[in-house]
Structure 1
Amino acid sequence: MDNQHTQDNAGVVQEFGALAPVRIGLPEQTRSQSVRALNRLLAHTMALRDAYKKAHWQTSGANFYELHLLFDKHYEEQVAIMDAIAERIQTLGGVTFALAGDIAGESSIARAPRGRESAPAQLERLAAAHETILLDARPLARAASDAGDDGSNDLIVSQVVRANELQSWFIGEHLARQAEGD
């Protein structure tokens, strides 16, 4: 083990991927599967949160004010979803993703360019990110339900799926307005 790795792990009380013993009535295998699934959704959610903040900071054009406020509102809602997912992972005895490099390595949500995008490009990117989350979330919710992890299923359906569907609808409506030339 090199010296840098030793320094990086100094004080670590639980390795990433390990489960702490918790008494919540779920077998270790179920908890482990749910932690992996939830960490993937957490990575996606963190990537989407960051995409919303970038859009908020860099939006421009005729609908600037409206989009500026919408992007910030959706950002805050994604932060709340992140917190709920992270708390569920901890409840299951797992360790959450927390660092940008981990998120980039786990999420398949496309990264935005560094430069400022047009409002339609921002909206398209956000709609695609929501779709990625929703395509991953639904089967993960079913798998949690099938494994008897009702808490994770409820979180995924009631918070992740519902919020992302609603936000995606709002983004879709703005895309439709942009296409109409509003």
Structure 2
Amino acid sequence: MTTEEDKELLEIIREARNKARGYADFFGWGADRDIEEWGVVTSLVESLKADGVTLFTSLERRGRPNDPPDCEALDTDGNRVAIEVTELVDGKAIQAYKAGKIYEWADWDQDKFTSSLEALISRKDSRFNELKGAPYEGGYVIVIFTDEPILNRIAVESFLRGCNIKKPKNITRTFLLVSYDPSIKKCPYYELQFHG
């Protein structure tokens, strides 16, 4: 790298650090939300690939102002898939962290976990008619990501056993992606199962 390239890279790093919220931000790319969303989906694709699963290919960021959806891809049959990304995080814990209370992590129990997922899924389901570039013959996929300190792989698996979420009207598939777990050498992911 040249000295000029070093300066540009350092400026990008400073900008990202200044925008970082400091809490539950494993997937955070404070300088660019479009890259963050693409990075989340890429992490899901990599974890699926590690398990020998191909969900889709040709992943592309749509970016502002071309969203929703945040990303699109092709399914294994070559059909376009709309992908929306959203985060499972406790806003009060973010505010506490910014106020200097860095160990006031959010408490999660079964009810809070389930109701938070339901709210995120409902909100994304209601945006189906706003998708630009439709139709998406391959479906409408939601990727929910989290880096909440309490929501590690073991806690999430326990909460998912008690989850009973009503099937959304428009969403084809929903995945929950948890931040990197060194014990399994990937980001754990779970396809949510709906009822009714």
Settle same-fold status: TM greater than 0.5: no
Structure ranking higher in helix proportion:
1
Higher RCO, Cα 8 Å, sep 6+: 1
Structure ranking higher in strand proportion:
2
Report the TM-score, using the length of structure 2 for normalisation.
0.29
